Amino acid sequence: MNRLFTKNKLITVTSVLVLLLLWKLASWLMGSDLILPSPEKTLATTLSILVREEFLATAGYTVLRGLTGFALSLVLAVGLGIWAGVVPAVHAAVKPILVTLRSTPVISFILLALVWFRVEQVPVFIAFLTMFPIMCTNVIEGIRSLDGDLLEMAEFFRVPRKRIIRELYIPGIAPFLTSGISTALGFGWRALIIGEVLSQPGLGIGTQMQQAQTYLLVSELIAWTVIAVLISYFFEWLITLAESRLIQWKVS
């Protein structure tokens, strides 16, 4: 197992190094940092951004918008997902809504949100609409995957409702929910940044990207992209950590 883990890490590091070399080669062939800055130029720009006084506020507002959209979508997805998973009629009513939300282009929602909301609210709305259907669908699938005979037996022996929820429902939907959260965060984070690029709130990573593009500051544009990706990786790591803790809890 350790050898396999070490081998996989080596493959990952090699892949990153190859990408950096290709990036360096492409930058050299372009011959201008105004078109494609080199990796070292981008790294220097990224570090200069990180030490700016306004960096924490800029990144913080974006993260706050993302967490707000995530919290709203999680609460509604769990509540509605459990209801739809238990009651077939509710599932039949909710299913076309979820399919529509997943199928509609994000840009359509953004353009409508620009008409409906203030610019600061647009990214939150977009993040919510992107993450909610993914998590809700996974919760529904988790509920529907539960052993019906086991639930009937629990009802027959009059097992307390709290115990049924704690020992059957939560362990049953948890893997589906964590998987849905991981997927939803990836899509939601990208949609959030796009929403900021187009709505231009006062502070935000997307706002900085748009300003960098306007003034042809390509190194800054790529640097903010790198920062956004690193933040996404951080939250992905948190989800992975939560999944491992969940597995340990189920085993114990």
Q: What domains does the chain contain, in order, with CATH numbers?
A: 41-251 (1.10.3720.10)
Query: Which pair of tokens denotes residue 177?
Result: 């929910």
Q: Rounded to the nearest 5 degrees, what angle is found at the Cα of 242, between the Cα atoms of 232 and 184? A: 45
Task: Provide the residue-wise pLDDT of the chain in tens; the chain has 252 residues.
Answer: 556 557 778 888 888 899 999 999 998 988 887 888 989 999 999 999 999 989 999 999 999 999 999 999 999 999 999 888 888 899 999 999 999 999 999 999 999 999 999 999 999 999 999 999 999 999 998 888 776 667 677 676 676 767 777 667 777 788 888 888 989 998 999 999 999 999 999 899 999 999 999 988 999 999 999 999 999 999 888 888 877 776 666 555
What pLDDT is recorded for position 86?
81
What pLDDT is recorded for position 246?
65
What pLDDT is recorded for position 176?
85
What pLDDT is recorded for position 98?
93
pTM of the prediction? 0.83
Do 76 and 132 meet the contact criterion of CB atoms below 8 Å apart?
yes
Render pLDDT for 105-161 as a digit per residue (tens, 0 to 9).
999 999 999 999 999 999 999 999 999 999 999 999 888 877 666 767 767 667 676
What pLDDT is recorded for position 224?
96
